């Protein structure tokens, strides 16, 4: 889907956390955050700044935060974004830089995703006991989430789920 978005086959992509995964999508020109005032990990100042940064890669990028009230996290994210914008504009003026849109090969995004899939492949091929593998995957999943790599964390979570399911099935069949 991301490749199709980049290729212009469709104009709108609705997703959850899609723009926080470290994916470089220079075509993104509008980011809308619904319920931006709902407190929690996904609406922290850091997460909002990261999400806002997705639209900043586009010369015409805009961010719309939809909320009933402005939270401290929203205010911090807006203030930091304005500070960064002022710094960038001053730098551009001083050095005679006229911002131009980024042009990236469409394959770049697919290669990034393929690398992440490769990073999780083979983890279950370890000769360790399955429980040890599950523990290692759990540690990696937590680390990925802490680094805001939620797509990788979700894949690891799914792999853990599949392994646990296999263990349960094996135990039901009387296998150790």
pLDDT, position 24: 65
* Amino acid 102: pLDDT: 67
Residues 82 and 161 in one domain: no
C-alpha span between 35 and 78 (Å, rounded): 15
* Residue 2: pLDDT over 90: no
d(CA 8, CA 15): 17
Q: Are 99 and 136 in contact (CB under 8 A)?
A: no
Q: Please indicate, yes or no, whether residues 36 and 74 belong to a single structural domain of this protein.
A: yes
* Strand residues in 2-158 grouped as ranges (E): 30-33, 62-65
Residue 36: CB atoms within 10 A of its CB come to 22
Q: Centre a 10 Å sphere on the Cβ of residue 159 and count the other Cβ atoms it contains.
A: 19
In angstroms, rounded to a whole number, what is the distance separating the alpha carbons of residues 151 and 116? 9
Q: What is the number of other CB atoms lying within 10 angstroms of the CB of residue 54?
A: 22
User: What Cα–Cα distance (Å) separates residue 50 from each residue in 10, 76, 161, 165?
Assistant: 24, 12, 29, 35
Q: Specify if 54 maps to a domain.
A: yes
The residue written with tokens 């290692």 in the block is 136
Q: What is the pLDDT of residue 91?
A: 95
Q: Does residue 115 form part of some domain? A: no
Between strands 30-33 and 62-65, the pairing is parallel
Query: What does the pLDDT read at residue 124?
Result: 46
pLDDT 10s digits, 104-123: 665 555 555 555 555 555 54
Residues in the chain: 176
Residue 30 belongs to a domain: yes
153, 119 in Cβ contact below 8 A? no
In the prediction, which pLDDT does 127 show? 40
List, in order, residues 6 or more apart from 20 with CB less than 8 Å away.
47, 50, 51, 54, 148, 150
Q: Partners of 33 in the beta sheet? A: 65
Residue 157 domain-assigned (yes or no): yes
Same domain, 66 and 14: yes
pTM: 0.55
Per-residue pLDDT tens for 76-110? 999 999 999 999 999 999 999 988 876 666 555 55
Residue 116 lies in a domain: no
* 145 and 78 share one domain: no
**Choice between 83 and 131, residue whose per-residue pLDDT is larger:** 83
150 belongs to a structural domain: yes
Domain with 152 in it: 121-172
- Residues linked to residue 65 through DSSP beta bridges, in sequence order: 33
């Amino acid at each position: 889907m991301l490749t199709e978005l980049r290729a212009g086959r469709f104009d709108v992509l609705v997703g959850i956390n899609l723009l926080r995964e470290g994916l470089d999508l220079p075509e993104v020109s509008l980011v809308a955050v619904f319920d931006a005032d709902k407190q929690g990990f996904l609406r922290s100042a850091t997460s909002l700044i990261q999400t806002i940064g997705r639209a900043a890669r586009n010369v015409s990028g805009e961010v719309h935060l939809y909320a009933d009230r402005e939270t401290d996290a929203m205010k911090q994210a807006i203030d930091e974004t304005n500070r960064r914008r002022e710094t960038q504009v001053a730098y551009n003026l001083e050095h005679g830089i006229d911002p131009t849109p980024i042009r990236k090969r469409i394959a770049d995004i697919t290669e990034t995703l393929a690398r992440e899939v490769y990073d999780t492949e083979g983890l279950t091929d370890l000769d360790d006991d399955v429980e040890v593998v599950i523990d290692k995957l759990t540690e990696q999943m937590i680390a990925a989430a802490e680094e805001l790599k939620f797509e990788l964390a979700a894949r690891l979570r799914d792999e853990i789920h599949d392994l646990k399911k296999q263990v349960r099935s094996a135990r039901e069949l009387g296998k150790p």
